[in-house]
Structure 1
Amino acid sequence: MNSKIALVTGASSGIGESTAQRLAQAGYTVYGTTRGAAPRPNKTVEMLTLDVTSDDSVEAAIAEVLRRHSRIDLLVNNAGFGVAPAAAEESSMEQARAIFDTNFFGMVRMIRAVLPHMRKQGSGRIVNIGSVLGFLPMPYMALYAATKHAVAGYSESLDHEMRTLGIRVSVIEPGYIKTSFDSNSLAPDLPLAMYEALRTALNARVKEVLLTAQGPEVVAETVLQAAMAAQPKLRYAAGTLAGRLRLLRRFAPASMVDAGIRKDLRLQAA
């Protein structure tokens, strides 16, 4: 493969950074993006400033890559954030809109900006970073789960639209991944005292699970697999836990999945 052009959003740390580096190792010319902060020098990945919540910022970054190379072969939509474990009613409508504007509409902005160019060149791959929470519920992370369900549905629908035009779309669905993502999640902006003890317990449980979680490299490898497959799948489970959860969701009775989620999070039986 000779220097296919890849653009990876949210590439300053975690899954995005690992993915950008892995693609560069595989021979892609990679542009990563970061929001707000000045791009840092990087020997293998050139960083661009891009805010996925801004139409102008998205258009400017895409235009810069096209100015240099006249094409974009791979778009990896990774930029996103979460709200720390909290009850659904502890987030305001403003907070709900903010997480959707980045996690879902940010992805849509990027795709809308790139698709016309991929259609013109008659080829392209779009890989969206979802989550196992795109097919499973997560109590006390309702907004984040909702954005990832939206990512999954959009990705599958778009792939059907684009196949005959030489463009394929995949969604990557990791489970717990050891990154700084959870420590960077927003606190709920309307906290209620009645949920305080539960929030504390859930945060402790998440930190406990992350101690033995796989690193972002497992997601990066899955992205590369989807990007280079001759016949890419619509959905890829990234990592051992994600693979187990996918099988559980597919084959286990709903009541068993429900009970397993509550047991894992140490919630009271109901």
Structure 2
Amino acid sequence: MTRTDRGVALVTGASSGIGRASAEALARAGFTVFGTSRRTVGSGPNGVTMLVCDVTDGASVDALVSTVLSQAGRIDLLVNNAGIGMLGGAEESSVAQVQALFDVNLFGVMRMTNAVLPLMRRHGEGRIINIGSILGLVPAPYSAHYSAAKHALEGYSESLDHEVRAFNIRVSVIEPAYVRTIFDQNGIEPDSVLKEYDRARAEVDALLRDVMPKADRPEVVADVVVRAATDVSPQRRYTAGKAARQVSILRRFAPSEMFDKSLRKQFRLPV
């Protein structure tokens, strides 16, 4: 495959949603793009070569990187997008279930990153973009484990950025809020559902039904991915979408008690 002027990009979880939109946007921006999915897909993103990879399997990750190298010769940009959701009370999930969530949302990122960093260091440059969440900045009720994984991703990414900048490699996190995808529909259901949370769970479900039709389209996040991939001086964090920007500003400047009440009101919890 002939490399374009922008370089070679690898996007995980590219079969739908943010990953698909990001892969297509990067291709339009001039990158040679490889995307991944856990299973073979019939119709992949436009202008993207799709490959199968399970980010929870080290051998699968190594095979993916070897295949991209054999076809393109290098990897200039890694977008870690593959992830799963989980919605429920913190005590409704077993530790084993939470470990499965972290295996995709955090350790999967680490596996992919460890596989491409030696290539980027040898080449003398590279970009890594991790798709985080505004919940990595502002934890919300009934998303304790997902928020914990995204908080961990924020810390990992910022530390890594400090470490690899000496090799002309930069790491950024994208922080979207609500996005219109099938992500929530494909999330993990708690394995120990408790009746004590039935009413609160119904309120959160109702909230999601209200906000999702008005949520950002995946292309909004994809545009920010392209920006992070091409900025001359990339930022460590990029919010994506109006809601994410508003929450980020409020978190920094609003009094904590006011912010707490506002958050609980949004989730229809007693203040």
How does the TM-score come out when normalised to structure 1?
0.97
Instruction: Determine helix, strand or coil for the equivalent of 2:51.
Output: strand
Aligned pairs for 1:73-92 (under 5 A) are: 73-84=76-87, 86-92=88-94
Q: Deviations over 1:1-52 (max 9, x none)?
A: 6151000000000000000000001111100000134564555111100000
Alignment of 1:147-226 (within 5 A): 147-226=149-228
Gaps (5+ residues) in structure 1? none
**C-alpha distance after superposition, 1:180-225 (max 9, x if no partner):** 1111112111001111121122111112111111101110000000
For the 8 Å contact 2:56–2:103, the answer to whether it is kept is yes
**What amino acid maps onto 2:137 in structure 1?**
F
Distance 1:38 1:246 in 2: 36
In the TM superposition, structure 1's runs of 4+ consecutive aligned residues that sit over 3 Å from their partners are 37-43
Query: 1-side partners of 2:191 and 2:221: how far apart?
Result: 30
Identity across matched positions, percent: 52
1:59 alignment partner in structure 2:
62
Q: Distance in 2 between matches of 1:41 and 1:248?
A: 38
- Contact 1:39–1:47, Cα closer than 8 Å, also in 2: no
The answer for unaligned runs of 5 or more in structure 2 is: none
Alpha-carbon separation, structure 2, partners of 1:188 and 1:224: 35
Q: Which amino acid aligns with 1:48?
A: L
The aligned runs of 1:24-63 (5 Å cut-off) are 24-38=27-41, 40=43, 43-63=46-66
12-21 vs 200-209, greater mean Cα deviation: 200-209
Residue 71 of structure 2, aligned match among 68, 71, 79: 68
Q: Is the aligned partner of 1:240 residue 2:242? A: yes
- 1:113 equivalent among 112, 115, 134: 115
Change in 2 beyond 3 A, CA 1:239/1:266: same
Distance 1:20 1:41 in 2: 10
Secondary structure in structure 1 of the residue aligned to 2:214: coil
What is the rounded CA distance, in whole Å, between the counterparts of 1:160 and 1:146 in structure 2?
A: 22
The amino acid across from 1:33 in the alignment is: T
How far is the alpha carbon of 1:157 from its aligned partner?
0.6
What residue is the counterpart of 1:254 in the other structure?
A: 256
Is the Cα contact below 8 Å between 2:15 and 2:41 reproduced in 1?
no
Deviations 1:97-142 (A, max 9, x none): 0000000000000000000000000000000000001110111110
Q: Which secondary structure state, in structure 2, belongs to the residue aligned with residue 246 of structure 1?
A: helix
Question: Hey, what's the Cα distance between the residues in 2 that align with 1:129 and 1:230?
Answer: 20
In structure 1, how many angstroms separate the alpha carbons of the residues matched to 2:42 and 2:82?
A: 15
Structure 2 counterpart of 1:18 = 21
CA contact (8 A) 2:20 2:45 kept: no
TM-score of the pair, normalised by structure 2: 0.96
- How many residues in Structure 1 have an aligned counterpart in Structure 2? 268
- 1:170: how far off? 0.2
Secondary structure, in 3 states, of the residue corresponding to 1:211? helix
Equivalent residues of 2:8, 2:75 under 8 A apart? yes
